[in-house]
Structure 1
Amino acid sequence: MNAFRSLLVFTWLVVSLIPMGLGLLICSIFVGDRLLWRWFGVPWLSGVIGAARIVGGVKYRVHGQENLPTPDDMQRIILCPKHQSTWETFFFPAWMPRMLAYVFKQELLRIPVFGWAMGRLNMIHIDRSKRSEAWTKVARQGEVLMDQGKWIIMFPEGTRSERGSQGKYKTGATRLATLTGASIIPIAVTSAKCWPRGTFWFIPGTIDVSIGAPIPSEGRDQDEMMVEIEEWIESEMRRLDPEAYQ
């Protein structure tokens, strides 16, 4: 039954992506990325999360929502979530009160429709084989996007980690924060409980998303700051999903 429900969700995801993605591409000729996000991005992403909840049985609850700045607060913000699943890559842009800009590998731009649409939303795509050039682009474009009112989202582990495991936390986000004066919001998310890494099948249950208090970067060392972020996220992960860390 779980496999059948998962198949229904992913079928809807693919089928709905084609008209929404093509619509976004056509409209991008005439309007800017904020309208594209409002008309196409948020509705489609919210629909995927809704389908996973209603059909796939993947519910969620959010803790610490009060730690997010208000929509009219123009401070520079970088989100640093735990990365266990594809689920959070859909959830955060759909749920957050501000438009997000991902830092992602440019290979994703080659994915038909989905990648093409991402390329029209003014995010930060980088060539990871050229580390110096990639960082220069992140620093330059990240500051511009934050000043436009967008929040940057960077997964500090770089890639998805298995449930109960801990990847190496990289300092890209804290390096950007200390350079631009941004605050970092750490986020723990237990998505692997319901959508494990490397699979397309859902496990019905509830994903916990815990949002930490913003950590100012002024006067901070980037390595020390990332240690604080790592300790908060991993401690919170063990509190939210103790079975995975036995």
Structure 2
Amino acid sequence: MVTLRSILYMLFLSITVILYGLPISIFGWILPYRLVSKVSQHWGKINLQALKLICGLGYQVQGKENLPSSTCIVLCKHQSAWEIITLRALLPPENTWVVKRELLWVPFFGWALAALRPITIDRDNARRSLQELLNQGKYWLDKGRWITIFPEGTRVTSGKRQHYNRGGAMLARKTGYPVLPIAHNAGVFWRRRDLKKYPGEITLVIGKPLNPERLSATEISRRVEEWIEETVAELPRRDLQ
């Protein structure tokens, strides 16, 4: 039953990617950015609703009071595609993401993502990518957009750790904008590279914003990594069969 429900949800997800992604990829370049962002936010919200309805997989958010009213840099744990959908639904719509360049080549999803003007990372040219992150990140932060980064750079299996890249911490150090750490246990229910979406409740925890003033990029990165990993370790990890 879990497999069947997961297939049905993936079908729904694929259809919505096309229905939302195609218009955004065509008209997103000429429509107001806030409007396009709100459309993509709605895509995230209906997918969370469908995930609950079809797969019985819901979520709860802890630390909502920590969401700042002003611009910040989000550093989030990366375990599955769930957090991509969820952060798009929950965070302010005017949000610039840092993504690997290859994602823009994915039909419909990547095309729509390109219209949302992300900051792209070329893994074959780390030095140039870092410079682009620092320059474009500052530009968009000063324009009032949040910046969302997955510092691990790739999805990491639940229960395992990956080196945290310092790009987001360096951006905070350079610009002075606060860092908002986010932890969750989505990988327990929506495993990396697994079709199945197990029923239950994912917990997403929003940490207190970290003021980068008087901190080095190394110290910012260390504090964020410690908080995220310690928080994730305390979240429920059920044995799914």
TM-score, normalization by structure 1:
0.92
Query: Could you give the per-residue CA deviations for residues 185-238 of structure 1, whole angstroms, max 9, x where no partner exists?
Result: 111110012101111210101100011100011111111121111111111112
**Is the Cα–Cα contact under 8 Å of residues 180 and 209 in structure 2 kept in the other structure?**
yes
Query: Could you give the per-residue CA deviations for residues 125-152 of structure 1, whole angstroms, max 9, x where no partner exists?
Result: 1212111111111111111111222111
Query: Could you give the per-residue CA deviations for residues 139-185 of structure 1, whole angstroms, max 9, x where no partner exists?
Result: 11111111222111111211111111111122111111001111111
Residue in 2 that maps onto 1:45 = 44
Residue in 2 that maps onto 1:110 = 105
Residue in 2 that maps onto 1:237 = 232
In the TM superposition, 1:77-156 aligns within 5 A as 77-156=72-151
2 CA distance for matches of 1:149 and 1:98?
11
Q: Secondary structure at the match of 1:119?
A: helix
2 CA distance for matches of 1:193 and 1:229?
21
In the TM superposition, 1:12-51 aligns within 5 A as 12-38=12-38, 40-51=39-50
2 CA distance for matches of 1:170 and 1:126?
12
Residue in 1 that maps onto 2:171 = 176
Structure 1 regions of 5+ residues with no counterpart? none
TM-score, normalization by structure 2:
0.94
1:98 positional shift = 4.4
Q: Secondary structure at the match of 2:115?
A: coil
Task: Confirm or deny that 1:192 pairs with 2:187.
Answer: yes
Note the aligned Cα RMSD (angstroms).
1.5
The amino acid of 2:18's aligned partner reads: I
**Is the Cα–Cα contact under 8 Å of residues 188 and 238 in structure 2 kept in the other structure?**
no
Structure 2 regions of 5+ residues with no counterpart? none
Q: Secondary structure at the match of 2:224?
A: helix
Share of identical aligned residues, percent?
35
Residue in 2 that maps onto 1:201 = 196
The amino acid of 2:19's aligned partner reads: P
Aligned residues: 239
**Is the Cα–Cα contact under 8 Å of residues 61 and 209 in structure 1 kept in the other structure?**
yes
1:29 positional shift = 4.7
